[in-house]
Amino acid sequence: MKKYSLFIWTLMLGVLLLAACNTSDTSQETNSTDSNETGTEEKSENAIEDHNHHEEDDHEEHAHVNETTARLTVAHENGIWILDSDHDEVIESLDLSVSALSLSPNQRHIFVNDRENGVVKLLDSGVWSESHGDHAHDYIESPILSSYEIEGDQPTHFVNHAGRTAIFDDGSGEVHVYEDTSLTTENAPAPVAAIQTVPHHGVAVPLSDGRNIVSYTPEENPQPLPEGISIYNAEGENETRYSNCPGLHGEASGGSDEVETVAFGCKGQVLLYHPAENSITELALPDAGARVGSLKGISASNYMIGNYSSEEDSALNTHLSLIHLRDRTIETIDLGTEYVGSITMDEEHAYVLGKNGSLFVIHLSTGEIESETAVIDPIEPTEGHGHGTPNPALALVEGIVYVTDPATMTLHQVDPAHGEAKAIQTFDTAPTALIAIKKGDPHDH
């Protein structure tokens, strides 16, 4: 009898030990980021590291509207609000002049641009991840605004590519390129490249081999919009020029390594530059008089999405342009309504806000409209574009889309997969720009 009781107790102890080994835990770890930033040691005590590990069978549940976690940076004419989507509340409010927001390559810092006053500051969003082989550690801290300013004559276009950021100053035609690793809030970054061009509304794109693409307008007859692109080597010398892109406006990079492409919108065509081949492809637009003036692409996708418009034929203004990078072809999609310029995408889908107030989801490989979700009231016509003009803005985090509505001064959260939309914040000033950065989520693998 004693031997039987001992056996039972031993069996029960084994079950308890096995259960304990399968229990996930969450702990804190000292933050190991750049020690040059002010207050890093104090802040790192609050850094949150997610150690949750799940077996493959535990991945059945996916994020819905109320479960998505993101840190949102919303600009308005007098400053910035920073929100946590978890609690739908403002955690920080900064007073400063803002015309636009641009995300850095590290997906952590944000360029806060005051174009008219020629001042750029750097905002540390306070959320980032560090890869550790088969898993990542996620950190959350308080946001910090840089103690310095980057000065320029009307800094306008900020382009991230190949771990660098190129800033184009319209007023001077100057280009400055910064390494992602140099971006901290305490120490001003030194540019790794500086290129002088003729003043115009231009753009520059860093390439992975150290070269840079810079928009081109003739020195003898400068135009407000460029007419092509120039390729500069790592020493800043102009190697090649492609001038057949009238009214150049809009840029995007995309495709995997073997099909990496940089695209530029033009009147009558889209210009594709292929870095590996050092060559171009000219994609003629399907309709006479049409123009592409904005483009969106990501490195993980072999598609790009862009606007499509015409001064001569207003019926074309409800169309979008879809570029297939592998085939080097272009097609158009009729949305059935005009739309706002802020378009976002992931590897498989594009998300577009129609002026009828609905969010459209487009499958990139087929060009089909997969869904339409009502979000805001129909949008009234406004004058101007960008640079602080209160137009709706979109941001995407893991299939959840955030939409600002300047007309009602609200921020909306949309789950298009389930047709759900809700207002999560009301402001006292019209929002003008939006960036969303994903926070650590134990259900996100």
Q: Do the Cβ atoms of 364 and 350 come closer than 8 Å?
A: yes
Those residues with Cβ within 8 angstroms of residue 88's Cβ, 6 or more apart along the chain or in another chain = 424, 425
Instruction: Kindly tell me if the per-residue pLDDT of 385 is higher than 60.
Output: no
Confidence (pLDDT) at 66: 46
Q: Do the Cβ atoms of 105 and 163 come closer than 8 Å?
A: yes
DSSP 189: P
Give the number of other Cβ atoms within 10 Å of residue 7's Cβ: 10
Q: Bridge-partner residues for 411, per DSSP?
A: 404, 425
Those residues with Cβ within 8 angstroms of residue 168's Cβ, 6 or more apart along the chain or in another chain = 155, 156, 157, 159, 174, 175, 202, 203, 204, 214, 215
Instruction: Kindly tell me if the per-residue pLDDT of 59 is higher than 60.
Output: no
Confidence (pLDDT) at 153: 98
DSSP 375: -
Lowest mean pLDDT among 118-127, 285-294, 375-384: 375-384
- Mean pLDDT value across the chain: 85
Q: Do the Cβ atoms of 303 and 253 come closer than 8 Å?
A: no
Quickly state the pLDDT bin for 61 (edges 50, 70, 90). Answer: very low
Residue with tokens 């840029």: 251
b/e map of 209-242 (b: 16 or more CB within 10 Å)?
A: eebbbbbbbeeeeeeebbbbbbbbeeeeeeeeeb
Q: Bridge-partner residues for 235, per DSSP?
A: none
Q: Do the Cβ atoms of 428 and 396 come closer than 8 Å?
A: no
Q: What is the mean pLDDT of residues 15-25?
A: 36
Lowest mean pLDDT among 78-87, 283-292, 404-413: 78-87
Q: 74: which 2 tokens? A: 């919303």
Instruction: Kindly tell me if the per-residue pLDDT of 55 is higher than 80.
Output: no
Q: What is the mean pLDDT of residues 134-157?
A: 93
Q: What is the pLDDT of residues 330-383, one digit of tens each?
A: 999 999 999 999 999 999 999 999 999 999 999 999 999 999 999 999 997 655
Q: What region, left, alpha or beta, does residue 235 occupy, with left being phi > 0 and alpha being psi -120 to 50 degrees?
A: alpha
Confidence (pLDDT) at 138: 85
Confidence (pLDDT) at 261: 96
H or E stretch covering 168: strand 164-169
Alpha carbon 133 to chain centroid, angstroms: 25
Confidence (pLDDT) at 45: 36
Confidence (pLDDT) at 383: 54
> Which of 171, 245, 184, 236 lies closest to 210 in space, CA to CA?
236
Confidence (pLDDT) at 188: 96
Indicate the pTM of the whole model. 0.83
> Which of 252, 229, 328, 223 lies closest to 284 in space, CA to CA?
328
Confidence (pLDDT) at 56: 35
Residue type, 201: H
What 3-state DSSP class applies to 332?
strand
d(CA 137, CA 29): 9
H or E stretch covering 17: helix 2-21
Those residues with Cβ within 8 angstroms of residue 390's Cβ, 6 or more apart along the chain or in another chain = 382, 406, 430, 431, 432
What 3-state DSSP class applies to 327?
coil
Residue type, 414: V
Q: What is the pLDDT of residues 221-234, one digit of tens each?
A: 999 999 999 999 99
d(CA 86, CA 89): 8
Quickly state the pLDDT bin for 440 (edges 50, 70, 90). Answer: low
Confidence (pLDDT) at 97: 95
Q: Do the Cβ atoms of 115 and 99 come closer than 8 Å?
A: yes
Alpha carbon 60 to chain centroid, angstroms: 28
Those residues with Cβ within 8 angstroms of residue 13's Cβ, 6 or more apart along the chain or in another chain = none
Quickly state the pLDDT bin for 85 (edges 50, 70, 90). Answer: confident
> Which of 83, 21, 41 lies closest to 437 in space, CA to CA?
83
Q: What is the mean pLDDT of residues 305-324?
A: 97
Residue with tokens 């123009």: 291
Q: What is the pLDDT of residues 418-427, one digit of tens each?
A: 999 999 999 9
Quickly state the pLDDT bin for 87 (edges 50, 70, 90). Answer: confident
Q: Do the Cβ atoms of 68 and 416 come closer than 8 Å?
A: no
Confidence (pLDDT) at 136: 78
Instruction: Kindly tell me if the per-residue pLDDT of 1 is higher than 70.
Output: no
d(CA 13, CA 2): 17
**Residues above pLDDT 90, as percent of the chain:** 74
What 3-state DSSP class applies to 284?
strand
Confidence (pLDDT) at 389: 54
Q: Do the Cβ atoms of 357 and 379 come closer than 8 Å?
A: yes
